[in-house]
């Protein structure tokens, strides 16, 4: 799964009283019905009617019905991506449900396309859930590909990072950082303006080509954000920033080589990239290269992935149990262990549930409080502007 290198771009639970109201709304009686599930109050409810509501399903009913389905089918997840291996193992051991991982090499667009392709056929080749770049969420909702469901921790997911109706919700994110080789850089830059200083001549590399790389377009956007403070005006300011960086001689030419890979040799002393990429590199190069990850003081841009349940999920209860687990404290902390900041990160920090030893491996939590997360519409406009105007940077002298 090639998500990290590209990057992406906040529950109302069904209470026992609401469950009774739902039963009345669907004409259900309190007598025993075939295939119905009992609530703790003894009321019998047809589980399938619970799928018609976006409200969180009581965990006892959800687990029972998911176990009957027996399988959860995901798509484009690998065990080393965002610590999904530990999450998968924990989920299957906890609930005794088989895990079916489909097409581990697909990108976000292919994940959504797979729902389209299998919606009429179903079966074990149809995904129950998708984990996609947030830029694809609105179109998927409008096409009717995603089923609404609000997990029990819904209220702790930031409002601007979830669909109000529950068709999708951000799951984890990263911010743009300076990945710095202290072995090759004497003074570590702390903010975007520092990158223009003469001491950084020939040291700064983009994480990709802005014409097709998400991390590169987001980096330009973040640089502009440090100047304007507005996500809407930042793309233009970002192009101007990189013109200045190029003219100063500090910006390294784009090549086919991955600048993260060439950092070890000293060829790319400062790489502008997602925090999770930098943190992983730091661990990999420990003992060889001293790598520091800096969240800049301004222009902190967040890039988010999103979770959505297929409206055609062959295992709809297992799909809902899966997302309930992903948005629990337990699984959110597992994402964090993989250096992907969980969407409920601020809530976890506020309640003091992030282990000290894990927090010590990360940039200060306070740095993430100022992160701005663009809407789908803002992402579309920013990417279009930056890619249409990148030629102004490389043509400048």
Annotated domain spans of the chain:
16-156+309-355, 174-302+370-394
Q: What is the pLDDT of residue 44?
A: 62
Determine the pLDDT at residue 47.
Answer: 79
> What b-and-e string marks burial along 84-96, b requiring 16 or more CB atoms within 10 Å of the CB?
beebbeebeeebe
- Its CATH architecture, for the domain 16-156+309-355, is 3-Layer(aba) Sandwich (3.40)
**CA geometry: angle at 136 spanning 133 and 141, to 5°?**
130
pLDDT of residue 397: 59
Cα–Cα distances (Å) from 84 to 87, 90, 92, 384, in that order, read: 5, 10, 12, 32
Check if the beta carbon of residue 206 is closer than 8 Å to that of residue 190: no
178 — phi, psi (to 5°)? -100, 115
| Domains 16-156+309-355 and 174-302+370-394 in one fold | yes
Beta bridge partners of 179: 271, 293
Pick from 140, 108, 175, 133: which is nearest to 306 by CA?
Answer: 133
CA distance 94 to 330: 12
For residue 30, what pLDDT is reported? 30
Residues lower than pLDDT 50 in the chain: 1-6, 9-35, 40
Angstrom distance (rounded) from CA 234 to CA 214? 16
CA distance 339 to 279: 7
At residue 213, the pLDDT reads 87
Whether pTM exceeds 0.85 = no
Superfamily of domain 174-302+370-394: Periplasmic binding protein-like II (3.40.190.10)
- Cβ–Cβ < 8 Å for 309, 146: yes
Nearest alpha carbon to residue 278 among 190, 181, 201? 181
């Amino acid at each position: 799964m090639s998500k990290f290198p590209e990057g992406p771009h906040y529950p109302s639970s069904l209470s026992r009283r609401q469950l009774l109201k739902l039963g009345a709304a669907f004409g259900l009686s309190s007598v025993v019905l075939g295939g119905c599930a009992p609530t703790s109050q003894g009321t019998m409810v047809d589980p399938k009617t619970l799928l018609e509501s976006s409200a969180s399903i009581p965990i006892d009913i959800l687990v029972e019905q998911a176990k009957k389905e027996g399988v959860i089918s995901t798509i484009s997840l690998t065990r080393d991506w965002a610590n999904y291996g530990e999450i998968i193992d924990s989920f299957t051991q906890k609930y005794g449900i088989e895990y079916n991982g489909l097409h581990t090499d697909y990108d976000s667009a292919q994940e959504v396309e797979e729902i389209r392709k299998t919606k009429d056929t179903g079966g074990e080749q149809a995904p129950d859930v998708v984990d996609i770049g947030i830029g694809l969420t609105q179109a998927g909702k409008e096409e009717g590909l995603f089923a609404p469901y609000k997990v029990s921790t819904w209220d702790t997911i930031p409002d601007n990072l979830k669909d109000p109706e529950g068709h999708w919700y951000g799951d984890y994110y990263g911010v743009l950082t300076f990945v710095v080789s202290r072995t090759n850089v004497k003074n570590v830059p702390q903010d975007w303006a520092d990158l223009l200083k003469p001491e950084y001549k020939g040291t700064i590399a983009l994480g990709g080509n802005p014409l097709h790389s998400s991390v590169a377009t987001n980096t330009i956007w973040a640089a502009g954000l440090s100047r304007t403070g507005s996500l809407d005006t930042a793309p233009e300011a970002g192009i101007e920033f990189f013109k200045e960086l190029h003219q100063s001689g500090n910006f390294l030419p784009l090549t086919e080589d991955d600048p993260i890979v060439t950092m070890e040799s000293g060829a790319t002393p400062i790489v502008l990239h997602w925090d999770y990429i930098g943190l992983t590199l730091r661990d990999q190069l420990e003992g060889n290269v001293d790598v520091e990850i800096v969240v800049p003081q301004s222009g902190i841009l967040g890039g988010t992935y999103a979770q959505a349940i297929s409206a055609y999920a062959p295992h709809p209860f297992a799909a809902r149990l899966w997302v309930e687990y992903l948005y629990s404290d337990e699984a959110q902390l597992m994402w964090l262990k993989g250096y992907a900041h969980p969407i409920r990160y601020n809530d976890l920090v506020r309640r003091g549930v992030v282990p000290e030893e894990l927090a010590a491996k990360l940039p200060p939590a306070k740095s993430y409080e100022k992160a701005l997360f663009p809407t789908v519409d803002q992402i579309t406009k920013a990417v279009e502007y930056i890619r249409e105007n990148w030629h102004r940077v490389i043509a400048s002298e």
